[in-house]
Amino acid sequence: MMKTSLTGIKPTHIPHVGNYLGAIRPALRLSETYRTAYFIADYHALTTVRDPAALRGHVHDVAATWLACGLDPDKTLFYRQSDVPEVFELSWVLACITATGQLERGVAYKDAIAKGEAPNAGVFYYPVLMAADILLFDTDVVPIGADQRQHVELARDMAARVNHLFGEGTLVLPEPLITEAPLVPGTDGTKMSKSKGNTIPLFESGKKLRKLCLSIVTGSETLEEPKKAEGTPLFEIYRQLATADESAALEAKLAAGNFGWGHAKEALYEVIERDFAPMRERFTALRADPAGLDAVLARGADQARGIARATLDRLRARTGIR
């Protein structure tokens, strides 16, 4: 049987090119080899988001983005976390078998304390909810960047403890699947990130997109001088999108001289405009129909709740709750 892979997506902003290349594209490729589940983690977003309209809007932005990028809801379980309230029941059981010290060692919580912040209890409890997200669906693997390893290991520890206390086979032990996604630079050359204002939004087009491409930092060589493409932010984005032949051609033109950074930026603009055109169209149509998006997510939630209830039935019987 195919293994199950589960991924959560926090609806905190409109996805950018870094999210697409670093998370969305690799995740969609996984659905060829795994039974995949993707959920929009709106309750995780609530640890920081305080604007109800923005949260609702971002859930729809994210749902439309993933569908536009090729997620097939007939093949992939696709739902909104808050539509599956069973996750909170499991999270309570997990909290009851977890030492507070384990949560105190949580990276997100520790970071916040180290920065002198006063994190809310949601930040402290977040690894428990994440473990419940994972364990509720008999997840085998969780694709993550190396920085998230601790959270999946904690979920695995919790599952092992539940099995030890209440019987083997109660919960499936998940494993981290460390993905080596490319780090996509933003227009200022540092990691593309919403908080830094250096992003290229995924479905930007026309003049705005062109302006963003032209704003990418480059060297200050003259038009005539030969230029090294490798390692420049512009080329690092370009080669993720263009074909291997196109990338080699751009690299050669820059190396030959008499080809300016402005020309290279133009080439990047064209490749983004071209590659994302079909997805942009699908996104626009999907995003204009929030009720349609909710219907897709509701169908996913129905399916998800069926799996969730089976897990909870097992757990309730064994813990003595029923």
Span interacting with ligand AMP, options 10-18, 64-72, 115-123, 306-314, rule CB under 6 A: 10-18
Would you give the binding string for ligand AMP spanning residues 11-30, x where CB under 6 A is met? -x-----xx-xxx-------
Contact of 36 with 49, CB cutoff 8 Å = no
Question: Closest CB to ligand AMP among 105 and 191?
Answer: 191
Q: Please count the helices (runs of H) and the strands (runs of E) in the chain.
A: 14, 5
Task: Establish how many alpha carbons lie within 13 A of residue 178's alpha carbon, considering only the half-sphere containing its beta carbon.
Answer: 6
107 sits near ligand AMP (criterion: CB under 6 A): no
Q: What is the dihedral of CA 62, 129, 121, 95, to 10 degrees?
A: 180
Which of 112, 181, 214, 310 touches ligand AMP by CB under 6 A?
A: 181
Please enumerate in sequence order all residues whose Cβ is within 8 A of that of 232, keeping only pairs 6 or more positions apart, or say none: 218, 219
Residues paired with residue 7 on neighbouring β-strands, in sequence order: 38
Question: Closest CB to ligand AMP among 44 and 227?
Answer: 44
Angle at 8 between CA 128 and CA 52, to 5 degrees: 90
Question: Closest CB to ligand AMP among 173 and 178?
Answer: 178
The label of the residue with tokens 């997990």 reads 94
Question: Closest CB to ligand AMP among 44 and 287?
Answer: 44
Q: What is the CA radius of gyration of the chain?
A: 22
Q: What is the footprint of ligand AMP within residues 127-156 (CB under 6 A)?
A: 145
Give the CA distances from residue 170 to residues 39, 97, 155, 208, 321, in Å, rounded to whole numbers and listed in that order: 23, 14, 14, 53, 14
Which of 29, 56, 105, 191 touches ligand AMP by CB under 6 A?
A: 191
Which of 107, 160, 165, 183 touches ligand AMP by CB under 6 A?
A: 183
69 sits near ligand AMP (criterion: CB under 6 A): no
Minimum CB separation of residue 89 from ligand AMP in Å reads: 27
Which of 45, 59, 192, 297 touches ligand AMP by CB under 6 A?
A: 192
Minimum CB separation of residue 263 from ligand AMP in Å reads: 25
Minimum CB separation of residue 193 from ligand AMP in Å reads: 6
What amino acid is encoded at 7 in this protein?
T
Which positions lie near ligand AMP, rule CB under 6 A?
A: 10, 12, 18-19, 21-23, 145, 181, 183-184, 191-194
